[in-house]
Amino acid sequence: MTKHRATPIEISKEEFKKIGYQLIDLVANFMDTIDERPVTTGETPGQIQAMLGNASLPESGTPASEIFSRTSELLLNHSLLNGHPKFLGYITSSPAPIGALADLLAAAVNPNVGANILSPMATAIEKQTIKWLAELIGVSPSYGGILVSGGNMANFTAFLAARTAKSPKNLKEDGLAKTAGELVLYCSKTTHTWIEKAVVLFGHGSKSIRWIPTDADNRMNNEILSETIQSDLKNGKKPFMVVGTAGDVSTGVVDSLAGIAAICKKFDLWFHIDGAYGIPAAAIAERKEMFEGMHDADSIALDPHKWLYCPLEVGCTLVKNPQHLIDTYSSHPVYYNFGTTDDEPSLNYYEYGFQNSRGFRALKVWMVLQQIGRSGYIKMIEEDIALSEMLFEEAEKHPELEAITQNLSIATLRYVPSNYPQDPKDKETYLNTLNEMLLNELQKGGKVFLSNALVGEKYCLRGCIVNFRTSETDIREIIEIIVREGRSMHKKLQEQ
């Protein structure tokens, strides 16, 4: 009888070390030279597919070392690098290097953080991580919650908790069809698209959203919010939730949260804040005022994989009274033996959210939080904001750029050539076409990666800095690149 089974999956200790050290060398070199690489190689899906090949599932195995050398070449040389100092697109941060090591450790131990008995230390680490996240943004550490895959899931998780808490008690048994009166909810038109997915997926339909207009500052108009709720109540609807945004995805605006909190209190509605992007800025003492009212939120979504610089994927739902999560998500199948041990009730995360089997995404957040500490986060977030302000100011100063908005760490701007159609209508159409084509060119070019925003009717280039590698030199160079490419695109358009 042999002690070890011969399987094609096991890797000997010596081989594991050999491949592992080689991989670490490659990754360390990749991180060290990331600023010398293009942000993206701009290869088309067809070119990428050709490189990957179209082979069928291999019948027999390949040695791990061979797989690693091919895979590293494919990934390190043909990816878009959001860890590059000139990556300012969408809202994905440069990932903290310690997070990569944390993911290796987490996968090696592989705890199933669905139940305490399956992951005693990992469950305790997730609990502490959630408490630290609450402390970082400055809400009571008694908020509980759960880590999820990202912003969409963090908001969905809260959405359903809100519905359980504020809808008729028979909802679980009877479903939505039997609710007396249609459930409706409120948010501004700047709300991220998760809300549209949520109402469709969870059976409310898109008509259940009351899109509240924004005021001149692009914040939800709280007067109209209040009037709309009253009118809905008069018409027999069942308002259940208001969503405020702390850092909207396009321009970084934070809604007047205190006003929303007061309205939710008055009408007994669930107050949810989507702070997936912006709420980490509440850690900064001088910015706290902007987030006033946050402490009254019933739930908050925040994303460590955005402005807390953790590698994908990790979002977080914080809930003032975590019992609402248990009321929404808990069930007790007979095949689960996850009950109370001795005198302490078990913390079983499967009862807090969508997943039963859950990975250990908490580890990377827990480690990054310790490596950086509160003061480190405050410094980096403040610097990101300062760099975004610099991007805006440099655009303001440049005769061929128009600075449009700046909030938190998002600046929007557009290229405006010195000669272009002067008729007011033609002018805007031309500038929109020019800037859209410019953005596409910049995104393919590999020198800088920006995304876009529509501000009013203006198509803008948008830079969001959640990137600890971006420096003042990068901002100056980005301005030069935009102007250089803008001129060339304008020339091309004029010649057409």
**Residue indicated by tokens 């903290």:** 96
CB 184 within 8 A of CB 208: yes
- What is the C-alpha separation between 283 and 247, in angstroms, rounded? 14
- What is the C-alpha separation between 69 and 66, in angstroms, rounded? 5
- What is the C-alpha separation between 133 and 139, in angstroms, rounded? 9
Residue 192 near ligand PLP by CB under 6 A: yes
Residue 194 near ligand PLP by CB under 6 A: yes
Task: Give the range of 236-244, 269-277, 351-359, 447-455 binding ligand PLP by CB under 6 A.
Answer: 269-277
Query: How many residues of this chain bind ligand PLP (CB under 6 A)?
Result: 14
428: amino acid identity, one letter: E
> How many residues appear in the chain?
496
**Residue indicated by tokens 């859209």:** 436
Shortest distance (Å) from residue 200 CB to ligand PLP: 16
Shortest distance (Å) from residue 313 CB to ligand PLP: 7
The footprint of ligand PLP on residues 81-110 (CB under 6 A) is 91
Q: Compare residues 19 and 137 and give the one whose CB is closer to ligand PLP.
A: 137
Answer for which of 161, 198, 209, 276 binds ligand PLP (CB under 6 A) is 276
Q: Compare residues 113 and 249 and give the one whose CB is closer to ligand PLP.
A: 249
The footprint of ligand PLP on residues 325-364 (CB under 6 A) is none
Residues contacting 278, CB < 8 A, separation 6+: 245, 246, 247, 248, 252, 254, 307, 408
Provide the mask over 297-316, with x wherever binding to ligand PLP is found by CB under 6 A and - wherever it is not. Answer: ------x-----------x-
Task: Give the range of 135-143, 274-282, 332-340, 400-408 binding ligand PLP by CB under 6 A.
Answer: 274-282
Q: Compare residues 19 and 319 and give the one whose CB is closer to ligand PLP.
A: 319
Shortest distance (Å) from residue 269 CB to ligand PLP: 20
The footprint of ligand PLP on residues 225-264 (CB under 6 A) is 245, 249
**Sign of the Cα pseudo-torsion (137, 138, 139, 142, in order):** positive
DSSP 326-359: HHHH----TT-----BTTB----GGGGSS-SS--
Residue 384 near ligand PLP by CB under 6 A: no
35 alpha-carbon distance from chain centroid? 23
Residue 274 near ligand PLP by CB under 6 A: yes
Cβ-closest position to ligand PLP: 151
Question: 3-state class of 185 per DSSP?
Answer: strand
**Helical axes 64-77 vs 13-32, angle rounded to 10°:** 10
Residues contacting 357, CB < 8 A, separation 6+: 112, 114
Question: Which residues would be at the binding site for ligand PLP (CB under 6 A)?
Answer: 91, 150-152, 155, 192, 194, 245, 249, 274, 276-277, 303, 315
